[in-house]
């Protein structure tokens, strides 16, 4: 047993069937709007301003409303107005199942209690042992990718597990996007997931359908996500008094030899994403001196 989402829990326990879950998800996606879309719908932003907000978010860990205020596009009162509209229209998967007739209110309440008890044992923190995260960058990188998958891809994500070795990719089509960094810390961040899940991330970010076999498009979009994570991570390093520069994106297998490895397994309703942080390990003092 492991971290699961409420819809998966209901499906696996036979409370609902797959058709009912898909109908509820479709209803949920129809009803739930992102902050930017809601602000545009209410005439408070336009697409050009939203693009500038996204550009700022590539370098600073800001919510969309916070970025809009910093750029002078919205006031705090206007941001609160948009958030109220979002809150009033936001539908959780359980509510969607009730609205589509799959569950009654009483059944929903009962199943939520059972689900909470089961999942309490699987709550994880991104606090990492110092020896596993010597630079202190892996933990904030994990926090950032979880936030940005929510903001950019409108994806619900849970930290399911943290490992310190990188296993061979599972069978089937898998894409790995990578962005290296250098400076006071040297290494890279990477995102690895199935072609289907990567296509869903890409579709959500660019706002149009992307086929699972559209490898170049998928890698471009997931690399851009990593660039945003990296830009924000560079700001974290800067606050530590360290320099960090990003290299152009890459793809393919992540080199692990001589590197410290942290793999965050991120659970989503559509499968697992592996977010990987690898850093070069320091060479022992005097290791390059010639022998006697």
pLDDT score recorded for residue 35: 92
pLDDT score recorded for residue 126: 65
pLDDT score recorded for residue 89: 85
Distance of alpha carbon 175 from alpha carbon 162, whole angstroms: 20
* Residue 162 tokens, joined: 């943290």
The Cα-based distances of 90 to 4, 53, 259 in angstroms read 21, 22, 43
Burial track 195-224 (b if 16+ CB lie within 10 A, e otherwise): bebbbbbbbbbeeeebebebeebbbebbbb
Burial track 261-288 (b if 16+ CB lie within 10 A, e otherwise): bbbbbbbbbbebbbbbbbbeeeeeeeee
Can you tell me the mean pLDDT for 122-128? 65
pLDDT in tens, 76-99: 999 999 999 988 888 999 999 999
Contact of 273 with 197, CB cutoff 8 Å: yes
Phi, psi of 263 (to 5 degrees): -120, 115
pLDDT score recorded for residue 149: 93
pLDDT in tens, 184-234: 989 999 999 999 999 999 999 888 999 999 999 999 999 999 999 999 999
Sequence spans of domains, the chain: 6-122, 138-280
Q: pLDDT-derived band of residue 122, with 50, 70 and 90 as boundaries?
A: low
Q: pLDDT-derived band of residue 60, with 50, 70 and 90 as boundaries?
A: confident
Q: Under CATH, domain 138-280 is a member of which superfamily?
A: CheC-like (3.40.1550.10)
Contact of 189 with 230, CB cutoff 8 Å: yes
pLDDT score recorded for residue 30: 87
Q: pLDDT-derived band of residue 289, with 50, 70 and 90 as boundaries?
A: very low
Mean of all residue pLDDT scores within the chain: 89
pLDDT score recorded for residue 32: 87
């Amino acid at each position: 047993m492991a971290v699961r989402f409420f819809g998966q829990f209901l499906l696996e326990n036979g409370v609902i069937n797959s058709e009912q879950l898909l109908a509820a998800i479709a209803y949920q996606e129809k009803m739930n709007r992102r902050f930017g879309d809601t602000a545009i719908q209410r005439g408070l932003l336009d697409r050009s301003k939203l693009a500038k907000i996204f550009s700022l978010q590539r370098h600073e860990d800001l919510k969309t409303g916070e970025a809009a205020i910093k750029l002078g596009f919205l006031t705090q009162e206007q941001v609160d107005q948009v958030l109220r509209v979002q809150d009033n229209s936001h539908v959780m998967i359980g509510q969607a199942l009730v609205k589509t007739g799959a569950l009654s209110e009483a059944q929903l309440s009962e199943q939520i209690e059972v689900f909470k008890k089961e999942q309490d044992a699987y709550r994880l923190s991104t606090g990492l042992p110092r020896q596993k995260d010597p630079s202190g960058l892996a933990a904030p990188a994990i926090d950032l990718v979880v936030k940005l998958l929510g903001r950019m891809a409108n994806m619900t994500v849970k930290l399911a597990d943290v490992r310190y070795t990188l296993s061979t990719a599972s069978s089937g089509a898998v894409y790995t996007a990578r962005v290296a960094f250098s400076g006071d810390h040297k290494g890279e961040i990477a995102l690895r997931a199935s072609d289907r899940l990567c296509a869903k991330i890409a579709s959500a970010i660019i706002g149009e359908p992307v086929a699972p076999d559209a490898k170049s498009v998928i890698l471009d979009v997931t690399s851009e996500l990593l660039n945003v994570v990296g830009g924000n991570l560079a700001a974290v390093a800067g606050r530590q008094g360290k320099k960090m520069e990003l290299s152009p994106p890459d793809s393919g297998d992540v080199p692990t030899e001589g590197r410290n490895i942290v793999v965050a397994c991120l659970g989503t309703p559509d499968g697992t994403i592996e977010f990987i942080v690898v850093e070069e390990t320091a060479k022992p003092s005097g290791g390059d001196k010639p022998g006697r």
